[in-house]
Structure 1
Amino acid sequence: MAEHNDKGNQAEMLAAQWLMEKGYELLTQNYRFKHAEIDLIMKYRGLLIFVEVKYRSGTGFGYAEEFVDATKKKLLVKAADAYIYEIDWHQDIRFDIVGVYKDRYGTINFRHFEDAFY
């Protein structure tokens, strides 16, 4: 597996753990529908939350939310629709982005963008 995939998977695990510490419940990870993948699907305060995790080793090239373009958003929404139908969900949903950043000292930091798009 490519190194960037390893870092992405590790970032997803770190983000899931960080969100669970904040009271989120992890329902599934890496949900696939056709050409789309949702990194994390979580529940929090009655909401079903679809989370896109982006890893960055610094912010020199921009922040996480800048790397979720219109095409990616469309794919995420299609996959979310499939999951909602699959589990017969009838309550509110939200799309979040969690940026996982590693600074030059190796410290991991998070930026959480709630209700990032839709």
Structure 2
Amino acid sequence: MASHHEVGKKGELLAADHLRLKNYQVLHTNWTYGNLELDIVARYRGVLIFVEVKTRSTQYFGMPEEFVHANKAQLIRRAADKYMDQYGLLPEEIRFDIIAITVDKEIVHFEDAF
């Protein structure tokens, strides 16, 4: 059985491929700053998008998207601020999405999730 890290990495690869198929430009995957992380940073139609990927090998504990709580969303927002600072990006239109991937590789993309 694959570890949860392996499941997560496979999910992030599937999510990045999914975005590319939708003509998103994937700028970074697994970007980190200290203890902050962004799973995927992409651009689509002039919008900078920060994507949190949640992959679950079982639905026993709930759907993947249910695991992005308020605290996690706040960490992602902080990471997005650091990302824009690091790359000298001025405040622009940004969006926070969730891509949920289930055991059967069903991909659900929640745009503007938080």
1:97 is aligned to 98
SS in structure 2 opposite 1:52? strand
* Percent of matched pairs sharing the same residue: 46
Q: Which amino acid aligns with 1:88?
A: G
TM-score normalised to the size of structure 1?
Answer: 0.88
CA positional deviation for 1:51 = 0.4
Work out the CA distance in 2 between the residues paired with 1:116 and 1:64. Answer: 13
Aligned 8 A contact 2:57 2:102 in 1: yes
CA positional deviation for 1:64 = 1.9
CA positional deviation for 1:8 = 0.5
What does the per-residue CA deviation read over 1:34-87, in whole Å, with 9 as the maximum and x for residues that have no partner? Answer: 221110000101011000000012433222221011211111111100111122
2:73 is aligned to 73
Superposition RMSD in Å: 1.4
What does the per-residue CA deviation read over 1:11-54, in whole Å, with 9 as the maximum and x for residues that have no partner? Answer: 10010001100011110011112221110000101011000000
Task: Give ranges in structure 2 of 5+ residues lacking alignment.
Answer: none
Q: How many residues align?
A: 112
**Residue 29 in structure 1 maps to residue 29 in structure 2:** yes
Work out the CA distance in 2 between the residues paired with 1:8 and 1:73. Answer: 18
TM-score normalised to the size of structure 2?
Answer: 0.91
1:54 is aligned to 54
Work out the CA distance in 2 between the residues paired with 1:47 and 1:58. Answer: 33
Aligned 8 A contact 1:41 1:48 in 2: yes
SS in structure 2 opposite 1:102? coil
Task: Give ranges in structure 1 of 5+ residues lacking alignment.
Answer: none
